[in-house]
């Protein structure tokens, strides 16, 4: 299985952003939210179909969106905050769609940067098996040596164990280097939505914590403190902070990918190359010695 894998359970943020942007346009044109979801459903949007069904049952739209999981949880939080404080829903959703697109670009940049070292590690992980096949292709009884002699069996067990260890080590390194789930700066975006609806600072932070079920974001607290100290509106400062958080996430992801290239040399040297020697070179040499080719 590949080291780099997109989880199908997590909806693509770009597709979610498209739906949210279309919804924002419909709301701005004067459609009621329930009618806007019906129009999207009639257009073939699968999420809109499920939301429409949930609303028909009497469920809240934000709960229906949160049930979609992944990116839709953050959209649900934005919907809940905007409807609670009375912020313009179309503008709020438009801002969220822009944040989702930017966040998806950040995740894509990190994924592309990680793809090369991850692919290299995956390719080199098969090197020991290639050594076995190479020995067979050259006419040596490497498979027989590995399966029938005590030394060969020991090499086989140790070599396979090192291959498994290398794979797990590589996977752990790639997993740590991958981008964290979620959209960076979303807490700042949600706080900006709450403040744009006329909510107080304390109420805005409380609403965001309730909507996201998360702890307070220190970056948001810092921006709000700066806003109070400077006597300027916090909405634009928060949106700038959200953009900066996504920019930092993109930069940090590229740096992690650069470090990953060197970190993957550790399992290569400690596990993969010794496994190559145990499964390929050692049985080949033993096959040569047992055949008497080197006997004087």
Q: Is residue 31 part of a domain?
A: no
Question: Is 176 a residue whose pLDDT tops 60?
Answer: yes
Residue 236 buriedness (CB in 10 A; 0-12 / 13-18 / 19+)? exposed
Q: Is residue 78 part of a domain?
A: no
Residue % of the chain over a pLDDT of 90: 12
Q: Is residue 108 part of a domain?
A: yes
Q: Is residue 33 part of a domain?
A: no
Question: Is 281 a residue whose pLDDT tops 70?
Answer: yes
Q: Alpha-carbon distance 250 to 110, whole Å?
A: 6
Place 164 in a pLDDT band, splitting at 50, 70 and 90: very high
Place 25 in a pLDDT band, splitting at 50, 70 and 90: very high
Evaluate whether 243 touches 102 at the Cβ level (below 8 Å).
yes
Q: Three-state SS string across the chain, please?
A: CCCCCCCCCCCCHHHHHHHHHHHHHHHHCCCCHHHHHHHHHHCCCHHHHHHHHHHHCCCCHHHHHHCCCCHHHHHHHHHHHHHHHCCCHHHHHHHHHHHHHHHHHHHHHHHHHHHHHHHHHHHHCCHHHHHHHHHHHCCCCHHHHHHHCHHHHHHHHHHHHHHHHHHHHHHHHHHHHCCCCCCCCHHHHHHHHHHHCCCCHHHHHHHHHHHHCCCCCHHHHHHHHHHHHHCCCHHHHHHHHHHHHHHHHHHHHHHHHHHHHHHCHHHHHHHHHHHHHHHHHHHHHHHHHHHCCCCC
Place 40 in a pLDDT band, splitting at 50, 70 and 90: very high
Q: Is residue 14 part of a domain?
A: no
Specify the pLDDT at position 291.
Answer: 66
Question: Is 218 a residue whose pLDDT tops 80?
Answer: yes
Q: Is residue 67 part of a domain?
A: no
Vertex 188 angle, CA 224 and 200, to 5°: 50
Q: Is residue 210 part of a domain?
A: yes
CA 132 to chain centre: 36
Specify the pLDDT at position 10.
Answer: 44
Provide the number of structural domains found in the chain: 1
pTM: 0.70
Place 157 in a pLDDT band, splitting at 50, 70 and 90: very high
* CA 53 to each of CA 38, 62, 74, 83, 254: distance values in angstroms, whole numbers, following the listed order: 10, 13, 20, 20, 42
Specify the pLDDT at position 4.
Answer: 45
Q: How many Cβ atoms from other residues are within 10 Å of residue 40's Cβ?
A: 20
- Domain encompassing residue 100: 89-291
Question: Is 161 a residue whose pLDDT tops 90?
Answer: yes
Q: Is residue 10 part of a domain?
A: no
Q: Alpha-carbon distance 64 to 46, whole Å?
A: 13
């Amino acid at each position: 299985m590949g080291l780099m894998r997109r989880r199908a359970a997590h909806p693509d943020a770009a597709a979610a952003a498209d739906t949210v942007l279309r919804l924002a346009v419909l709301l701005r044109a004067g459609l009621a939210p329930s009618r806007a979801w019906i129009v999207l459903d009639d257009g073939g949007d699968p999420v809109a179909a499920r939301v429409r069904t949930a609303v028909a049952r009497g469920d809240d739209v934000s709960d229906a969106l949160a049930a979609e999981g992944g990116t839709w949880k953050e959209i649900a939080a934005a919907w809940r905050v905007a409807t609670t404080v009375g912020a313009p829903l179309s503008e709020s959703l438009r801002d969220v769609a822009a944040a989702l697109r930017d966040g998806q670009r950040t995740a894509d940049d990190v994924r592309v940067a990680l793809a090369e070292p991850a692919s290299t590690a995956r390719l080199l992980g098969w090197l020991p098996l290639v050594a076995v096949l190479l020995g067979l292709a050259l006419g040596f009884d490497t498979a027989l040596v590995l399966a029938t002699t005590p030394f060969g069996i020991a090499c086989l067990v140790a070599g396979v164990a090192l291959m498994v260890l290398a794979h797990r080590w590589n996977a752990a390194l790639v997993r740590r280097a991958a981008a964290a789930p979620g959209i960076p700066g979303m807490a700042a975006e949600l706080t900006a939505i709450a403040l744009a609806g006329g909510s107080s600072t304390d109420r805005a932070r409380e609403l965001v914590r309730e909507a996201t079920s998360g702890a307070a974001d220190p970056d948001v607290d810092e921006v709000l403190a700066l806003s109070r100290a400077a006597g300027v509106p916090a909405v634009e400062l928060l949106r700038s902070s959200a953009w900066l958080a996504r920019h930092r996430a993109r930069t940090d992801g590229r740096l992690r990918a650069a470090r990953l290239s060197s970190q993957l040399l550790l399992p290569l040297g400690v596990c993969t190359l010794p496994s190559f020697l145990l499964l390929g070179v050692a049985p080949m040499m033993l096959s040569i010695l047992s055949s008497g080719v080197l006997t004087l």
